[in-house]
Amino acid sequence: MVTVVTHPLVQHKLTLMRDERTGVKEFRELAGEVSLLLAYEAMRDLDLAQERLRTPIVEDDFPVLSGKKLALVAILRAGLVMTEAIVDLVPAAKVGHIGLYRDPQTLAPVAYYNKLPADIADRRVFVTDPMLATGGSASAAIRSLKDAGAQGGNITLMCILTAPEGIAVIERDHPDVRIVTAAVDSHLNDHGYIVPGLGDAGDRIYGTK
């Protein structure tokens, strides 16, 4: 299932990110802000329970988060800026990291780093990857989460931008995983970039171009 967050604030900030004149500092801030707003939507269905407490006025029942604890998992390196923003919203969440590179011969994603919370199987997992392009890295990352015991129904893939090609790969490989994104763009170009897109998210976040 794909949820596109059409909120005007998200769409406006995404347009600023697309603009090639937007510099590193502003781009990084916008990526964090859009990530927070995506998280607001992605976490809409978190369980609540009633807790009894006393306000300065009366005693009553009030909602508090309950149910599964949360994990944020960044796909390196561009996913880092997303988890760093979202963890401010859910400071008790544990944070994992998955690093992948593409084997130049086989073009298959190969994990070079994988550090996940030991109890990932018992958590709601929010995977962050700003750009869902071919879907290869995200699919491999989700596979390693499932291998570690996470249930697909507990995994949400959070992407600032997506391409239809990447969505199709995730829907094929992981139909039980929900995708939350700010936009589904037109297509990938011959170099694997999302069109119209915003360029290389990692380079724009870290100023490495």
Task: List contacts with ligand URA (CB under 6 A).
Answer: 131, 133, 192-194, 197, 200-202
Give the amino acid at 37. L
Q: Write out the binding residues.
A: 77, 102, 129-137, 194, 199-201
Active-site residue (options: 61, 88, 119, 203): 203
Handedness of CA 3, 74, 40, 18 (dihedral sign): negative
Our CB check for ligand URA shows the closer of 147 and 203 to be 203
User: Catalytic site residue 18?
Assistant: no
User: Catalytic site residue 203?
Assistant: yes
Helices (H), the chain: 8-18, 24-42, 79-86, 136-147, 164-173, 201-206
User: Catalytic site residue 102?
Assistant: yes
Work out how close the CB of 135 gets to ligand URA at its nearest, in angstroms, rounded to a whole number: 10
Active-site residue (options: 3, 18, 102, 173): 102
Our CB check for ligand URA shows the closer of 34 and 133 to be 133
Cα 5 to Cα 14, 89, 116: the distances in Å are 11, 18, 28
Q: Write out the binding residues for 5-phospho-alpha-D-ribose 1-diphosphate.
A: 77, 102, 129-137, 200
Our CB check for ligand URA shows the closer of 10 and 198 to be 198
Which pair of tokens denotes residue 159? 């992407």
Cα distance between residue 167 and residue 184, in whole Å: 9
User: Catalytic site residue 45?
Assistant: no
Our CB check for ligand URA shows the closer of 73 and 131 to be 131
Helix axes 24-42, 79-86, angle to 10 degrees: 60
Work out how close the CB of 76 gets to ligand URA at its nearest, in angstroms, rounded to a whole number: 13
Active-site residue (options: 3, 18, 143, 200): 200
How wide is the angle at C-alpha 130 spanned by C-alphas 124 and 132, nearest 5°? 90
Work out how close the CB of 71 gets to ligand URA at its nearest, in angstroms, rounded to a whole number: 23
Cα distance between residue 6 and residue 181, in whole Å: 9
Active site residues: 102, 106, 200, 203
